[in-house]
Structure 1
Amino acid sequence: MILEETDRMEMKSRTEGNTQCPFCSVQCKMRIQNQQNPDEANSLWVTEGVMNAASEGRLCVKGKNAFQHSFNRERLVKPLLRKDGILVQATWEEALNHIAQRILDIQHQFSKDAVSVYGGGSLTNESAYLLGKFARVALGTKYIDYNGRFCMSAAASAGIKTFGLDRGLTNPLSDIPLAGCIILAGTNIAECQPTLMPYFTRAKDQGSLIVVIDPRETATAQMADLHLKVKPGTDAVLAGAMLKVILEENLQNDSFIRNRTKGFDQIVRSVQGIDLNEASGITGVDENLIRLAATAFGKAETGMIFTARGVEQHADGHMAVRNFLNLTLVTGKVGRPGCGYGAVTGQGNGQGGREHGQKADQLPGYRLIENETDRAYIAGVWGISPHELPGKGVSAFEMMELVHEDTIKAMLIMGSNPVMSNPNAGFVEEALRKLDFLVVADMFLSETAEIADVVLPVTSYLENEGTLTNLEGRVLLREAALPVSASVRHDWQILCELAVKLGKGTYFPFSTAESIFEELRLATKGGAADYYGITYSRLRKEEGVYWPCPSPDHPGTPRLFQEEFGHEDGLAHFSDIVEQPSSEETCGIYPLILTTGRVLSHYLTGVQTRRSPVLTSRDISNALEIHPATASRYGIEEGMLVEVQSRRGSFVTRSRYRPDLREDTVFSAMHWGGLQNVNLATNPKLDPYCRMPDFKSCAVYVKPLQ
């Protein structure tokens, strides 16, 4: 299970190469170099940014040190097979034969749908595409979903309903400095996408007014002109109140509304029932601040709204985003320079990962699995009959519920760590332990891999060529910077080899990532996310290409909706303001609101960043941010070990005073496992539209442990 020295030497045999960061959705380009002999220590490797249109050559601390996990001695280099309760090294042939036989046995005994697939938003487009095809063609199962369900699903579903199309940003990053007013709702860009911060400081230098909506005074909030310290879970109410102010002040763009939208009359009726004083009480934001923010956005000639997980990871995340999209429509701030909406993607390929078939209801190119035309087209590309394609499955967390119910008997997990990343994590771990058979493909023995029956070692970002789509919708090619160790496999290679063992090899004849991309191009042709005009050759010459790009001579589409929206009628659709049940209520037993997020040094569940010495040294363990006055009420001193208990479970960490935090709110990050796993407490209540869990708002109590 340890990275052997021969493997380390083989990986280091090349002394330099170009790549891009494996972490956030900016996908910064970089160059890695070994300044001395390849057999020297990790510390001699250095990374420098390479000029590119997104990050403009910048790197953050995660990007600069990403290489460290690739050389970590804990990296898996041989398949592991559980024998007599213990994971032991096995050959690839032994591991793949065992997986194939167990899958065939389970499907023969129960049904094809007894086997499920769970993917990840950091997989390349090629691996994500092939994972969806593998589930539907090699396994014939309807049960596939991925961890991006917890990232972008609220914004994606809201964008489709409002605009008729979902892409992270409707316009390029270069538009940000052109915006006269910018609203950053539930996004901490300074820590989560730090290389983008210069775009916002440039905008501010040019006179832009910046509004940040966040219960915490983050590094992002510190640069804002207005900080609305909203109560977690009330963003939809706040956006609705801002919409009422804009209409009361007659700041709407009547021409845009008349010519390019539908449903405005119902919005007018909806806002009549909004009481600003009541909204202020619900959100905890002063009415005057609500008015200031709304009028600033309404009066600005240009403006942009960005949302992220702080708005989206709620049981009403879909409607919260739609309310913010209503603000863009009512003011006509979309489809022109300096105007638009951005869902700030969290995962490295959060955008591309949700376009090509990992979601339960989707086929490649944003086609829908329940649409007969879409099914026929993809079946034609894959060389099968449409009736052979399974139907729609369920969302990621709902798959865990089906495991508990014994409907799902086996699961293949690729590029994800659901024992940590799912809400109500104790329930999820219990479910995965119940499976008859669990296979995990990962670089490390993650918290999920530790309980697997088979663990398959995969390549790192330095060795794995493929395309990724950044938060703008710009498709980028990541070249392999270092050679592949003979003992590990690319994700897509594993799928192809397993398909052969399952008797479906003719459908998976791929020998390179580029050959997969060529089929992906055809599969997306004519779809909403059309990649047909994008080739590896173009990506090498042009650095990146925005989708949709329907033909090889098409320049790509940096700015969407300049002439029409994605709906068949060409119009954007307002959403009625619908009040949904609020997030979990506090009470005498659970008096505080727990909200979660990230810190600068770490990424997702920390499987990779916690194996970087530099990044770990910056944040060794988790913490609970708490207002000093709140801490005093519960007898909690600075740095004290505390237990945070919800209705589902508890985690343990140390307190950290934050005087700028709301007194009714505590915050903890998501990057640590074991007793520190914040998701042991979080709420699995699902949004009715997109099945996003209510991560960001759950009722807890906090007690000192010393």
Structure 2
Amino acid sequence: MSQSFLPYAQHKLEQKERKRVFPSQCPFCSMQCKMQLVEQHVEGRTRYQTIGVHNPTTHGRICMKGQHAHQHALHKERLNHPLIKRDGQFVKATWQEALNEIKTNIEALQLAHGHDAISVYGSASITNEEAYLLGKFARVALKTKYIDYNGRLCMSSAATAANQTFGLDRGLTFPLRDIEHTRVLILVGTNIAECQPTFMPYIEEAKKNGAFLIVIDPRSTPTAKLADLHVSLKPGSDAALANGILHIMLHDNLIDEAFIRKRTSGFEELKEHVLRMSLSDISEETGVRAEVIQKIARKFAQEKTGMIFTARGIEQQIDGTASVRNFLNILLVTGKIGRAGCGYGAITGQGNGQGAREHGQKADQLPGYRDITNRVHRKEIAEIWNIDEKELPGKGVSAFEMFEKMQEGEIKALFLMCSNPVQSAPHARFIQQAIEKLSFFVAVDLFISETAALADVILPTSSYLEDQGTMTNVEGRVTLREATYPLKHQRKHDWQIICDIAAVLGKGGYFSFSSAEEIFEELRAATKCSKADYSGITYERLRKEQGLLWPCTHVEDPGTERLFEDEFSHSDSLAKFAVVTHGKIVAKEPVSQAYPLYLTTGRVMAHYQTGVQTRKSTSLVARQFEAYAELHPDTAKTYGLQHGELVTIQSKRGSVIMRCHISDTIRKDTVFVPFHWSKHQSINQLIGEQLDPHSKMPGFKYCPVQLSAYVKEKICEKS
């Protein structure tokens, strides 16, 4: 081949096989797996492949959702430009037009009704920088007290229970690698195998090393099938079961007296309360045999090390906080926390469920888990933000309560970022009606979701591939999500959108950021000396060390892997026992002749949250394209239902229709439905509006329902 031909041949080869690699992190669960998207152009076609990248948490593992995440990020229905609703239809707008629309409406509403006429609803999927900035935006640019976020519907009971018991909430009180060395694990209401698949190798390794696995769940899930003991309790009876376990431990003196004496308070009250109980009554209430309760208690108490994990099954109840606290009582009476192989793990659901709740999106919090009602905490943040402490709004209300105030007319407008409450919140028809009463509604999203479709303005945001920032994973490890995929069309990052709106409202001086890293530097200062101290963490360190566990108080600090080794985070350094009177915490809607079955909801492996992202992935939809109702064979027989038939499920709030799956992996008195689908398959339409008194968590995992065969005429009448 001649020399003159070589450059031409090389050019043709590059055209034929051009490849680009984009670093990223999975946008879905709290494991936050590191990965790369490989984009390859071969013979005129573009192909994509996602590969895992080694990191301290998942060691290069990714699951099916991560493998196909790019399909929604590159989907043709991604929003490319702002939209404004005119005469009931969305029309394309420029950013300036959209910003002017927002400015005009917000200023008019606040002039007429005050600052609190505007509300902000955030997300546990956005970065730490954006969660921090959104809280600042609500309180500085809008001056409203009304801000909360979708994590209220996910992690709030676990967070509240940990704060009440330990004085601090971090997803895991230990590093993930400790799991491999524990002797017994209790998993309560968590289906890790389907919801966090890359977590499972830690459980499997523990079992190989001889650990005894106890799974407490009404369903025999893929996680439960790995258990040495699966406990199929009645939905909603978790607090009672924990009292039964405590009763055996205290009755048989299977406790760590030295730990209780030195490191806890409130034990005598707990002991007196629990020993008055009847084990046979607890057995009847939970549906768990007394000998099984005894086995759990003795096994957990007698082993040298042990861990307890909770997730949505126990937490998404109107007594979720108390139920989690009662399982934390079990840890405290046995002294199994603050040392290797021991501790508590709240299995965070959303990608940044941990970080998003630390930096000011919650109604009662300021950055670093500071208390918005605490004068000292308010002054510290006001100084960072360069405002007078008196200018900071006070405490607002929880996510669902904000919608109640919309319905009542007190809240007139909503700024919604990357969430879909019309599908994710309880009593979903009520949520839609509340939003429809608003005078003005702005949504920030990748797609026109079920909620965004109701907006007056939709702003197009960036995806995980394009948006750099930090995320805090399930173990409290802060990681840096690199993102180099080109930001196309008129899309903007969430933080840019916040800054742009602040600017048109005349508050641009407080939001003059040009990068995510600049925001993180302010976040570091805002969390210094707080419980969730990030001040020792920098982008440079995160790149070099592949993540750091908070608290991390200075740049030489290696981070805190194991919490509570010497003291707890209450002012007296002691952990607090809680007396939990099961059955009397809150009055749950009872099953009855009219509504004789328990409904419980959850996830499937192929989908995530309300499905806005995963339902745009052809590969994931192909695995699970519709919702279903899982029924025991005897239950199906009672109602004359065959596998695959359509069934109507009804509660006091409405009805849904879906196909029934008959399986002996569920209790006869229970119906399970995944919540990823919309319209007549949106199961959260059935869930009640009652909230946990402490965490304000709705009761997604417990709802009395009735079944009936699907009648086509009824649907025709409604449609």
Q: Quickly name the TM-score band, shorter chain normalised.
A: over 0.9
1:413 aligned counterpart, secondary structure: strand
**Amino acid aligned to 1:277:** S
- 1:268 is matched with 271
Deviation string, structure 1 residues 24-60 (Cα, Å, up to 9, x no partner) = 000000111013259734xx20011111111111110
Unaligned runs of 5+ in 1: 1-11
- 2:308 is matched with 305
Q: Quick one: distance in 1 between partners of 2:101 and 2:627?
A: 38
Specify which of 224, 241, 245 is matched with residue 244 of structure 2: 241
1:16 aligned counterpart, secondary structure: strand
2:690 aligned counterpart, secondary structure: strand
- 2:201 is matched with 198
- 2:34 is matched with 29
**Amino acid aligned to 2:244:** A
- 1:683 is matched with 688
- 1:7 is matched with none
**Amino acid aligned to 2:678:** G
Tell me, yes or no, if the aligned pair for 1:458 and 1:488 is still in contact at 8 Å. Answer: yes
Q: Quick one: distance in 2 between partners of 1:418 and 1:605?
A: 9
**Amino acid aligned to 1:540:** R
Question: Aligned pair 1:407/2:399, yes or no?
Answer: no
- 1:57 is matched with 60
Deviation string, structure 1 residues 354-379 (Cα, Å, up to 9, x no partner) = 00000000000000100000000000
Specify which of 446, 458, 461 is matched with residue 464 of structure 2: 461
Task: Quote how far apart the aligned CAs of 1:14 are.
Answer: 7.6
**Amino acid aligned to 1:614:** S
- 1:634 is matched with 639
Task: Quote how far apart the aligned CAs of 1:287 are.
Answer: 1.1
Deviation string, structure 1 residues 413-453 (Cα, Å, up to 9, x no partner) = 00100000000001101111111111100000100011110
**Amino acid aligned to 2:701:** K
- Which stretch has the larger CA shift, 13-22 or 462-471? 13-22
Specify which of 18, 40, 63 is matched with residue 45 of structure 2: 40
**Amino acid aligned to 2:142:** L
**Amino acid aligned to 1:189:** I
Deviation string, structure 1 residues 220-260 (Cα, Å, up to 9, x no partner) = 00000011101111101101110111112211011111111
- 1:9 is matched with none
Q: Quick one: distance in 2 between partners of 1:274 and 1:438?
A: 52
Task: Quote how far apart the aligned CAs of 1:583 are.
Answer: 2.7
Q: Quick one: distance in 2 between partners of 1:451 and 1:338?
A: 49
- 2:327 is matched with 324
Give the share of equivalent positions with the same residue, in percent.
55
Question: Aligned pair 1:92/2:95, yes or no?
Answer: yes
Tell me, yes or no, if the aligned pair for 1:121 and 1:347 is still in contact at 8 Å. Answer: yes
Q: Quick one: distance in 1 between partners of 2:586 and 2:85?
A: 45
- 1:141 is matched with 144
Q: Quick one: distance in 2 between partners of 1:544 and 1:110?
A: 45
Tell me, yes or no, if the aligned pair for 2:423 and 2:684 is still in contact at 8 Å. Answer: yes
**Amino acid aligned to 1:226:** L
1:683 aligned counterpart, secondary structure: coil
**Greater gyration radius:** 2
Question: Aligned pair 1:253/2:259, yes or no?
Answer: no
Map residues 257-296 of structure 1 onto 2, 5 A cutoff.
257-296=260-299
Deviation string, structure 1 residues 260-288 (Cα, Å, up to 9, x no partner) = 11111111111022211111111111111
1:672 aligned counterpart, secondary structure: coil
Tell me, yes or no, if the aligned pair for 2:81 and 2:489 is still in contact at 8 Å. Answer: no
**Amino acid aligned to 1:33:** V
2:330 aligned counterpart, secondary structure: helix
Deviation string, structure 1 residues 429-480 (Cα, Å, up to 9, x no partner) = 1111111111100000100011110011100000000000001000000001
Question: Aligned pair 1:528/2:531, yes or no?
Answer: yes
Q: Quick one: distance in 1 between partners of 2:45 and 2:624?
A: 26
Tell me, yes or no, if the aligned pair for 2:550 and 2:560 is still in contact at 8 Å. Answer: yes
- 2:704 is matched with 699
**Amino acid aligned to 1:61:** M
2:658 aligned counterpart, secondary structure: strand
Deviation string, structure 1 residues 559-616 (Cα, Å, up to 9, x no partner) = 1001111011111111112331353211111111100000000000000000000000
**Amino acid aligned to 1:47:** T
Q: Quick one: distance in 1 between partners of 2:65 and 2:385?
A: 39
- 2:8 is matched with none
Q: Quick one: distance in 2 between partners of 1:391 and 1:198?
A: 44
Tell me, yes or no, if the aligned pair for 1:313 and 1:693 is still in contact at 8 Å. Answer: yes
- 2:6 is matched with none
Q: Quick one: distance in 2 between partners of 1:355 and 1:445?
A: 28
**Amino acid aligned to 1:630:** T
Question: Aligned pair 1:610/2:615, yes or no?
Answer: yes
Q: Quick one: distance in 2 between partners of 1:327 and 1:270?
A: 14
Q: Quick one: distance in 1 between partners of 2:679 and 2:283?
A: 38
Tell me, yes or no, if the aligned pair for 2:19 and 2:41 is still in contact at 8 Å. Answer: no
* TM norm structure 2: 0.95
**Amino acid aligned to 2:624:** D
Q: Quick one: distance in 1 between partners of 2:192 and 2:484?
A: 28
Tell me, yes or no, if the aligned pair for 2:29 and 2:351 is still in contact at 8 Å. Answer: yes
Question: Aligned pair 1:188/2:174, yes or no?
Answer: no
Q: Quick one: distance in 2 between partners of 1:435 and 1:512?
A: 33
Q: Quick one: distance in 2 between partners of 1:373 and 1:13?
A: 57
2:165 aligned counterpart, secondary structure: helix
- Which stretch has the larger CA shift, 481-490 or 364-373? 481-490
Deviation string, structure 1 residues 492-547 (Cα, Å, up to 9, x no partner) = 10000000000000000101000000000000001110000000000000000000
**Amino acid aligned to 2:78:** R
Tell me, yes or no, if the aligned pair for 1:424 and 1:681 is still in contact at 8 Å. Answer: yes
Q: Quick one: distance in 2 between partners of 1:438 and 1:616?
A: 30
Task: Quote how far apart the aligned CAs of 1:13 are.
Answer: 10
Give RMSD over aligned pairs: 1.2
Tell me, yes or no, if the aligned pair for 1:157 and 1:689 is still in contact at 8 Å. Answer: yes
Q: Quick one: distance in 1 between partners of 2:127 and 2:674?
A: 26
Specify which of 128, 147, 153 is matched with residue 150 of structure 1: 153
- For these two proteins, the number of residue pairs brought into alignment is 693
1:274 aligned counterpart, secondary structure: coil
Specify which of 433, 439, 445 is matched with residue 430 of structure 1: 433
- 1:171 is matched with 174
Q: Quick one: distance in 1 between partners of 2:568 and 2:516?
A: 33
**Amino acid aligned to 1:171:** F
- 2:21 is matched with 16
Deviation string, structure 1 residues 50-89 (Cα, Å, up to 9, x no partner) = 1111111111000111011011111100111001110111
- 1:334 is matched with 337
1:550 aligned counterpart, secondary structure: coil
- 2:70 is matched with 67
2:705 aligned counterpart, secondary structure: strand
Unaligned runs of 5+ in 2: 1-16, 712-719
Tell me, yes or no, if the aligned pair for 1:145 and 1:394 is still in contact at 8 Å. Answer: yes
Tell me, yes or no, if the aligned pair for 1:314 and 1:583 is still in contact at 8 Å. Answer: no
Specify which of 626, 645, 655 is matched with residue 650 of structure 2: 645
Q: Quick one: distance in 1 between partners of 2:347 and 2:600?
A: 18
Task: Quote how far apart the aligned CAs of 1:657 are.
Answer: 0.5
Q: Quick one: distance in 1 between partners of 2:278 and 2:145?
A: 45
**Amino acid aligned to 2:76:** R
- 2:514 is matched with 511
- Which stretch has the larger CA shift, 483-492 or 315-324? 483-492
Q: Quick one: distance in 2 between partners of 1:64 and 1:276?
A: 48
Cα gap change, 1:38/1:456 in structure 2, threshold over 3 Å: closer, same or farther?
farther
